[in-house]
Structures are given as structure tokens and as C-alpha cells.
Structure 1
Amino acid sequence: MSISTAFLPRRLQALWRSPTGGACVLLLASVLGFGLANSPWAGAYGAVAHWPLSLAVLGAQGPRTLTAWVSDGLMALFFLTIILEIRQEISDGHLSSPRKVALPLIGALGGMVVPALIYVFTTRGAVEAARGWAIPIATDAAFTLPIILLLGARVAPAARVWLMALAVFDDLLGIGVIAIFYGSAPCWPALGCACMVLAGLVAVRRGGVVNPCVYGLGGMLLWGLCVRAGVQPTLAGVAIGACLPAPLARPGLNAVVTWGVLPLFGFLNAGVSLAGAHVGMLLAPVPLGVMLGLVVGKPVGVFGASMLAARLGVASLPEASSLHMLFGLSLLCGIGFTISLFIASLAFTDPALVETAKLGIFTGSLIAALSGWLWLRFGGRP
């Protein structure tokens, strides 16, 4: 699926083809969403973001608002494109050996354990805060990728692949944590049907079927069954990305995701209202634990685990990547927006705790994004 740009002026054509163009649009859309949520038009923005939209066939677990459809539905396409890129790197690129794949996986594990420990230590004695230990464990790939693209040559290609693989592993592990510690019992019949659909897709791939309609219909069915089963539906995008045969591994979705899905996602999810918030609220146990987990725990866990794995010889560092570069990317791992917000809504029944957790998530993610960008932009040579 390719999109013609012949009708655009040359400068716009260059912007369209440039990886930084989509990154700029995502960041601008996110800023616009945040600005509207904290403006006199906040009511209209909220009405759009929470516009009722549901399908009876998906049951009570299905998306019920526009924001939920973008986050749970369209973002599956984003994970599909990321998995395809990682597959390419595993085939003949920067992740072409087990030791190179081990590095982002070990980094993701470290980036989950250390933030959780910091949160638990920070909130000790606050019983009501205990269930929020998993809030700072996630990295939001949708917001880290555009920052990396904006940095251009200051981030080596191998290091970018490492961080994207780490973010995917992080999301998968985070979804596992949600299912084990925060989820209700899945709908086993729907989950069984999803497994059968996935097995069918694997079978047709091995049978040499390359018809994109087969995988498209199978992917939509798999996504719907994941919803009915109570499983994070973006996993369907990961599964389809892993199942596509090599001739379809470049489906041309990058432009759709870059210029459509991600800006819409940023616009709807960055609209965190700061009404009634003040600096003193950040010192409460929940927001302080979340913020420290993201800003301190994430880089310490990711960078520390990665360096330990490399020192022990179980993993290889990305090619042409300095320790300075990897630490800066580890700082960006503290951007834990979407999954963190989701875990906060599951962890607490008290709306006040949810709101303070959101404040910690937003502040911590913003600090992580700025510190990582400044570190990589001004702290070293390309």
C-alpha cells in the first residue's frame, strides 16, 4: 500500500519521505492535545476524545470511546510495523545473532525490576499506594521513536533498533504483568479461538500462501478475539507481524502509521488536564514513586542490566554505539505514557489516586523525554 505524493510541492515531498517529518507531526499533535486539554476548549476536546463508539459484537470488553479505538485498535498497526522492522534486523541486520537479541530483552527486564523496586521503597508505609508498583515499568514506544528520529545521526541505526526491540519486549512483559496481577480471568473460549486463528495463520504461511487478504482478515479476527478474551488487543499486531510471509513483510503501512495513526494517538492520549494540580502534589507517595521510577529507575535498570549482560558476555552491545549514546537512550525509556496510564486505572479504585498517578506519569515522562533528548543532542558527538 503506497501513497502517491506527486501532487505535493517538492519541499512537502521531501518532508513526507523524511523520517523526521512524521516525528514532528506526532510531537505537534501531542502538544496540541495537551494544550487543548488545559484550555477553555477542554470540554470540546474531552467530548471528542471520549466520543462514544462501540460494537456490540465485541462485548463489554470492546473499545467504547474514540481514544480507546485508537489505542487498542489502530495502534496494533504500529506494533505490526515495529515487529516487521525487528524481523528484518533479526534476518540480516543489527539483531542477527542470539547475543544481540538478548541485550534488549535483558535491558527490558532490568527496566521493569528497578522502577518497581524504587516505587515500592518510595511508597512504603502507604498501604493504599502499594497496588501501583507496576505503573512505572513500561516504556512507550510510540513516543520514544519520534524523539530518536529527530536526533538523526546522533543515534546509530543499531542503537535505534536496540531501543525499539527493548520497547517491544517491555510492552509484552508489561502486558503479562497486567494479565497476571491486574487482570480478571480471561474468557477461555475466546482465548482458545484466538490461539486456533493464530495457529491457522502460521499454517497458511508455512503452506506458502501470500495473499494479503488472508492475513488481513485473519488479523482482524484475531484482534476481535483478543478483545473478547480480555487480552490486550495490540498483541494481535505483534502476532500478525510475526506471521506474515517474507514477500508481505513490507506491506507499505509505514506512511499510514507515521502520518495518521501516531499523530492521532498522540493528540488523544497527551490530553492530560493539569486543572487543580500543583507542585506540592508531586511529593505525595504515589506520584513521587511513579516519577522516580520513570526518571531514575528506568535508566538505571535498562543501562545497568545491559552493561552487566555485555560484561558477562551473554549479550553484545549495538554496533557503532558509545556508552554515552546508550545511556541517553536509557533515559528515554522513562517515557512510560500509555501502558502506565492503563495500569494506574487498573491499580486504584480511588479516583484521587488515579489522578495523582497520572500527574506522576506525565511529569516523569516529560522529564525523561527532555533529559534524554538533551543528553543525546548536546552531550556528545554524532
Structure 2
Amino acid sequence: MASRPTLAFLKTETGSGVLLAAAALIAIIWANSPWAGAYHALTYQKVAVQVGPFAEEMSLAGWVKTALMPIFFFVVGLEIKHEILRGELSNPRRLALPVLAAAGGVVVPALIYLLFNRGAGGSPQGWPIPTATDIAFALAALAVAGPKLPPTLRIFLLTLAIADDLVAVLLIAVLFTADLRFPMLAGAAVTVAVLAAMSRWRTAPYSFWAIGGLLLWGFTLKSGVNTSLAGIAAAFCIPLEPKRTGGQGVLIETMEALHPYVAFFILPVFAFMAAGFALGGAGGGDILGPVSLGVAAGLFFGKQIGVFGAAALAIGLKWARRPTGAKWLELYGVSALCGVGFTMSLFIGALAFPEVDVAREAEVRAGVVIGSVASAIAGMIVLAISAARRTTEETP
């Protein structure tokens, strides 16, 4: 049985999926309208921020990625910590299937992307882009297609997506960190140490955590390390125990307070900023380039093959059990939904191809949107067919 925090997380993620889709659709329509110039002017508008000794200038889209998305990763970090210590990831028997499936869903999409980008003209550095799964979008599609399907499928998808997010964080740390500034990195390390020590102080005011997190973000930004890692690091310092006997844990209270803002504001804003691309491009280049084709194929074909193949192998070898009450067709449908990379894939794509590489950035957007939409449609069709069969079988 899933814990209450997990169920609340599922409900919020599912509800935000529709808003994410709407934000992306508005961005794509605007980017292909006569006012496309205004959309690009908005996203690339330079914004300077100076607070005391801190000074930074970047585009509006850059600020969303650098300043808002770390809050998303903070919430993801809280959920990962909770699931590892108290939730689904704490049970080895339940953990085997989604983790092995997630591994397949990372390796196969990456290989497919590299096939499209080998040789001259390719961009192999984008291979992590199709390895991600968007929790909100995938859960929303599952809720629409199969509201009466076994709840174990939702827990399987959530756990797999969380494992995917953990891999994405590791990839960001290893692949997208350059030009390190060691004094700032030392400041970030000291701040993390202080926050970790504060985890023993359960009654610490939330303002202390906010100030510490903001300080960590500033040091991380100036150190050359991606700021999403600051969110993860801060999350792992938040204590599980409640401030007072009988109350909710500090981690759960923090996650429940921030999650709606992340799901219904930060992620839709990021989707709006990151999803707009020209359908025609320069002679169709945005859609038919090696990056876009590699990303789209990796998400659509790679995720299905990788996730379902790894899951079927694990079940066949008796390393894991199929989700209780779920059929093979439903497991395949959920595997297809894992190809909805969307916000996570767009985020990794923005790191792999900075704003200065406009052509590749447009290809990433096209590939992510096409691959994610195709995966959502395929998964929903398969799950709808299975749900209809269940209804027929139950009818006397």
C-alpha cells in the first residue's frame, strides 16, 4: 500500500500534467504565429539582477532554468529521500522491477540517439536528453487513459520516474559541470555542511532553511556547478522527523507546501519558455535534423524497448514480480508513457546545447515535443484498449 505522502504526490503530479500540456501548446502556437518574434524576444530578453555583491545577467528563460528549476529539483530531492528511507524505494522486493526498467529506459534511448548522431554533422553530447521521464505528464496520461487500472501501475510509474530523475541528476553533475571556481565551490560545501548539521535541529525555523538554501544556490551558481544540484543537496539535508511529537515530519511538511507551486507554476512556466519551436524551421531542419530525430526516436522507440524489455527480462528471470493485478499489455502501455520526457528532457537539452547554439536548441525542442507527444498517444491508446477489455471481461 502506498503511503499518504506518495498518494498526495501522485495526485498533484497528475493534476499538473494538463497545465503543462497547455503551456507547451501555447508556446508552440505562438512560435509558429506571425508574432513568433515576440515569443523569442521574450524568452531571450536579458535580465540583470544585483543584490549587494551578487550580480548576474542572463535571459529570462535562463533565469527560469537557473533560479526556478532548482526549486523543482529540491522537491524531487525531498521525494527521492522520502521514498528511499520510508517509501517504495526502501523495499528491495518492490524496488527491483522499476529500477531495472529505469536502467533499460536510460541505456536504449541513449544508444538510439547516438545512432542518429554518429559521424560528421552529429551532436553526440545530447545523448542524455531522451533518457528522462516527465513524472507529471506521464502520470496525467495514465490517469486519463486508465483511471480504473490497478493502482500498482501508478506506483510502478512513479518509482521508475523517480529513479530516472536520480540518474538525470547524476548525469547533470558529471556531464554539465565546467569551469569550476573552487573558492565558490568551497563556500557551497561549507553551506551544505552547515545545513546537514542543522538537520539535527528539528525545531529550526523554516526561514533558516530558506536562507541556507538561497546561500547554497548563490555559491553553486558562481562555482560553475549546475544549480539543480543545489536543490538536491539542500533536500537531502531536510530532517524526516517532526518538529514536535505527533506532528508531520519536516520533510513532508516542506514537500507538501512547495509541491503545488512547483507543479502548477514553475513547471508550466519552464515548459512555456522551453517548448516553443518553429514547425518548419529552416527548410524543415528543426524536425529532420539528427538531434531532433535522435531525441524523438530515443523517447518513442528507445523508452518502449528499454523499459518493457528490461522489465520483461527481470520478470522472466524471476528477479522481480509483475505489478499486482497488472497485465502485460498494461505494463507495455506504461512503458510507452515513459517516453514522455518533456520538461526533464527539455531541461537536459538546454544544458547540452546552450542558447548560443540556436539551431541545435530548436532541434532539441522539436525532438522532445514530437517524441513525448507520440509516446503519450501510443501509451494512452494501449492502456485504453486494455481498460476496455477489462470492462468487457467484467460485464456478465
TM-score tier (shorter):
0.7 to 0.9
Does structure 1 conserve the Cα–Cα contact (< 8 Å) formed by 2:286 and 2:359?
no
SS at match of 1:231: coil
Aligned counterpart for 1:298 among listed residues 283, 303, 306? 303
8 Å CA contact 2:13–2:135 kept in 1: the answer is: no
Q: Structure 2 CA distance, aligned partners of 1:117 and 1:58?
A: 47
Question: CA deviation digits over 1:148-189, x for unaligned, max 9?
Answer: 444463454443343334334323423433444454243333
Conservation of the 8 A alpha-carbon contact between 1:287 and 1:361: yes
Where does residue 307 of structure 1 map in the other structure? Answer: 312
Specify whether residues 171 and 55 from structure 1 end up closer, same or farther in structure 2 by C-alpha distance, changes over 3 A only: farther
CA deviation profile, 1:310-334 (whole Å, cap 9, x unmatched): 4445555544444333322221222
What is the alpha-carbon distance in structure 2 between the residues aligned to residue 360 and residue 133 of structure 1? 12
Q: Secondary structure at the match of 2:236?
A: helix
Structure 1 residues 147 and 68: alpha-carbon distance in aligned structure 2, compared to 1, 3 A threshold: farther
Instruction: Provide closer, same or farther for how the CA distance between residues 324 and 116 of structure 1 changes in structure 2, counting only shifts above 3 A.
Output: same
Contact 1:193 1:225 in 2 (8 A): yes
Residue equivalent to 2:171: 177
Aligned to 1:375, which of 352, 359, 382? 382
Of 217, 228, 243 in structure 1, the residue corresponding to residue 222 of structure 2 is 228
**Pair 1:105-2:108 in alignment:** no
Evaluate the alpha carbon distance shift between residue 38 and residue 82 of structure 1 in structure 2; reply closer, same or farther with a 3 A threshold: same
Identical columns (%): 40
| TM-score, scaled to structure 1 | 0.80
CA contact (8 A) 1:175 1:232 kept: no
* 2:381 maps to amino acid: L
- Tell me by how many angstroms 1:61 deviates: 11
> Which AA in structure 1 matches 2:35?
W
Which residue of 2 is the match for residue 7 of structure 1? none
C-alpha deviation, 1:55, in angstroms = 3.1
**Counterpart residue type for residue 369 of structure 1:** A
Greater Cα offset, 236-245 or 349-358? 349-358
The aligned residue for residue 78 of structure 1 is 72
**Aligned equivalents of 1:169 and 1:218: distance in 2?**
27
1:126 corresponds to 2:126: no
Q: Secondary structure at the match of 1:243?
A: coil
Amino acid at match of 1:23: G
Which residue matches 1:117?
Answer: 111
The residue that corresponds to 1:204 in the other structure is 198
Structure 1 gaps of 5+ residues are 1-16
Pairwise mapping of residues 25-104 of structure 1 onto structure 2 (< 5 A)?
A: 25-56=19-50, 64-90=58-84, 92-104=86-98
The answer to whether the aligner puts 1:166 opposite 2:156 as a matched pair is no
Q: How far 1:367 sits from its partner (Å)?
A: 1.1
Change (3 A) 1:228 1:22: same
Question: Which residue matches 2:258?
Answer: 253
Deviations 1:127-158 (A, max 9, x none): 54444333322223353343344446345444
**Residues 220-240 of structure 1: per-residue CA shift (max 9 Å, x gap):** 222222222222222333333
Q: How far, CA to CA, are the matches of 1:369 and 1:288 in structure 2?
A: 17
Partner of 1:9: none
Q: Which residue of 2 aligns with 1:328?
A: 333
Distance 1:92 1:134 in 2: 29
Distance 1:60 1:141, change over 3 A: farther
Match of 1:365 among 340, 347, 372: 372
Unmatched 5+ residue regions in structure 2?
A: 1-10, 241-248, 392-396
CA shift in 2, pair 1:325/1:65, >3 Å: farther
CA distance in structure 2 between the partners assigned to 1:30 and 1:159 by the alignment: 26
Counterpart amino acid of residue 263 in structure 2: T
The equivalences for 1:329-348 within 5 A come to 329-341=334-346, 343-344=348-349
1:135 aligns with 2:158: no
Deviation at 1:297, TM superposition (A): 0.9
Residue 296 of structure 1, CA deviation: 0.7
Q: CA deviation at 1:39?
A: 1.2
Give, as a single letter, the amino acid of the residue that structure 1 aligns with 2:376. Answer: A
One of 264, 268, 282 as aligned partner of 1:263? 268
Report the TM-score, using the length of structure 2 for normalisation. Answer: 0.78
Q: C-alpha separation between the residues in 2 aligned to 1:301 and 1:61? A: 44
CA distance in 1, matches of 2:188, 2:153: 34
Count of residue correspondences: 366
Report the AA paired with residue 255 of structure 1. P
RMSD: 3.4
184-193 vs 121-130, which moves further: 121-130
Using the TM superposition, give the Cα deviation of residue 219 of structure 1 relative to its aligned residue in structure 2, in angstroms: 1.6
Residue 253 of structure 1 and its aligned partner are, at CA, apart by 2.0
- Residue 382 of structure 2 aligns to a residue in which SS? helix
8 Å contact from structure 2 (residues 330, 386) kept in 1: no
